[in-house]
Amino acid sequence: MRQARVSTYPAAVRIDLGDAAKVWTAADAQGVTMSAWMARLVHEAVRKVTATPMAKAWAAERLAANTARRARVDAAVHAGCDRKPGWENTKRFKDRVASAEEVR
């Protein structure tokens, strides 16, 4: 997935390589990524925990920052800033524009 949801937090952990091999095995057996498997593990571990007001305020700040960053990135992508110069001259782009005009 190219774009993460604004309501997620990119937590990174360091674990023993032997444990990582076991996580990889467990995740593979369930047909999910290691990240998804570990996210489920964390979700289950904190299921009954109630966040403190300070933690909720931190999460609200992170959400606001993520939302603002996502808006800036979306605007840049919409403007074509993430593309190399000359992208609008490619056959693929011209074909897509032609197809869109046919629909109109």
Q: Assess whether 41 and 55 both reside in one domain.
A: no
Q: What does the angle CA 89 – CA 70 – CA 64 come to, to the nearest 5 degrees?
A: 165
Q: From first to last of its 104 residues, what are the pLDDT tens digits of the chain?
A: 356 789 999 889 999 999 999 999 999 999 999 999 999 999 999 999 999 999 999 999 999 999 999 999 888 888 877 777 777 788 877 787 777 676 66
Q: Which residues contact 76 (CB under 8 A, 6 or more apart)?
A: 82
Helices (H) and strands (E) in the chain, counts: 4, 0
Is residue 26 within 8 Å of residue 37, measured between CB atoms? yes
User: What is the domain count for the chain?
Assistant: 2
Q: Assess whether 4 and 25 both reside in one domain.
A: yes
Amino acid 104: pLDDT: 61
Domain limits at 71? Answer: 51-104
Q: Assess whether 82 and 92 both reside in one domain.
A: yes
Q: Assess whether 68 and 88 both reside in one domain.
A: yes
pTM higher than 0.75 for the full model? Answer: no
